[in-house]
Amino acid sequence: MSNKVSRIENTASMGALLLDAGKISARDAERIIALQKQKGMLFGDAAKLLGLVNDDDIQRALSYQFDFPFLSTSEESFSQELVAAYQPMSPQVEALRAVRGQLMLRWFTDVHKTLTLVSLGRGEGRSLMAANLAIVFSQLGERTLLIDADLRQPRQHTLFKLQSVYGLSDVLAGRADLTVITRIPAFRDLSILPAGTVPPNPVELISRGLKSCLRELQAQFDVILIDTPPAEQAIDAQIVAANCGGALLVVRQHKTRMNDLELLKDALHDTGSQCLGVVLTDF
């Protein structure tokens, strides 16, 4: 199956989905139905028993039936590090859903729509957490926007393999407008605003233009997640968090120092940003 959106009705049968996807032929379907009736099996189980499809094919068909899009591991549209896109049943993604649930209960309401993801240093999983969390929010049906506000060493355009050269920095500098936001067809409720051109003055750009930009975007999206540079590298993350009002701290086991984390929490609090919690990453 292509990662492009296929408008298949959720009520379509397993057989129809596999047939439309080219996984089985009409003659295969007849063999499967015969075995299904003989053994009293589900259509998918009978198809697997005959060796005509595999577990990945079945899971993909189920994703359409239950309106839960994800990608086959054989597809290379995005980085394989996006586990929420390729391994939605994994323990890592279950943990992401738990984080999503807490945020839906405690933060994302009619009042709050934006959240900054902050880490002390690089290599702590912040960008991956932002990207995967954006995917699971979109799978919930929330109109989700992921903004790459790391205007120093951006990564989201690489994870999602975006070709656009324009992004947030260009919008804030008046070199582009919000049409540079990229819709991700594989996840119909997910959009990305990449960092864009790496500017010489990231702090100034974010300080003078981010607030009004977010105000406009909040009318279009339910959930806005913002990736930032490491807090130990620049003050950008604190400025972004102050404009959002809330921050989620991302730390890595055996790497992040507790004393440094406490200092970061205090710094965020001093900007008026609420620290919603800490997520420990292992990817």
Residue pLDDT, tens place only, 132-165: 999 999 988 899 999 999 999 999 999 999 988 8
Cα–Cα distances in angstroms (integers) from residue 92 to residues 47, 234, 280, in the given order = 29, 29, 11
In this predicted structure, the answer to whether residue 178 has a pLDDT above a threshold of 60 is yes
Give the torsion through C-alpha atoms of 240, 243, 248, 249, to 10 deg: 40
Nearest to 202 by CA among 238, 178, 176: 238
Structure tokens at 142: 């929330």
Indicate the average pLDDT of the chain: 87
- The residue behind tokens 């957490």 is 129
Give yes or no for residue 222 having a pLDDT over 60.
Answer: yes
Residues 229 and 130: their CA atoms lie apart, in Å, by 12
pLDDT of residue 12: 60
Give the per-residue pLDDT at 56.
Answer: 75
- pLDDT tens digits for range 231-268: 998 899 999 999 999 999 999 887 888 888 899 999 99
Q: Is 70 helix (H, G, I), strand (E, B) or coil?
A: coil
Strand ordering across the sheet containing 190-193:
182-183, 190-193, 144-148, 223-227, 114-118, 246-252, 274-281
Q: Which residue has the tokens 């839960």?
A: 68
Residue 283, pLDDT score: 61
The phi, psi pair for 132, rounded to 5°, reads -70, -35
The CB-side HSE value for 40 (13 A sphere, CA atoms) comes to 0
81: which residues sit within 8 A by CB, 6+ positions away?
Answer: 128, 131, 159, 283
Q: Domain 83-281 is classified in which CATH homologous superfamily?
A: P-loop containing nucleotide triphosphate hydrolases (3.40.50.300)
Could you state, in order of their start, the residue ranges of all structural domains in the chain? 14-65, 83-281
Question: pLDDT per residue over 53-66, tens digit each?
Answer: 887 777 677 666 65
Question: What DSSP letter does each residue of 145-204 carry, written as one string?
Answer: EEEE---SS--HHHHTT------HHHHHTTSS-GGGPEE-TTSTTEEEE---S--S-HHH
pLDDT higher than threshold 50 for residue 6: no
Residue 67: what pLDDT?
60
List, for residues 15-28, the tens digit of each pLDDT value: 887 887 788 898 89
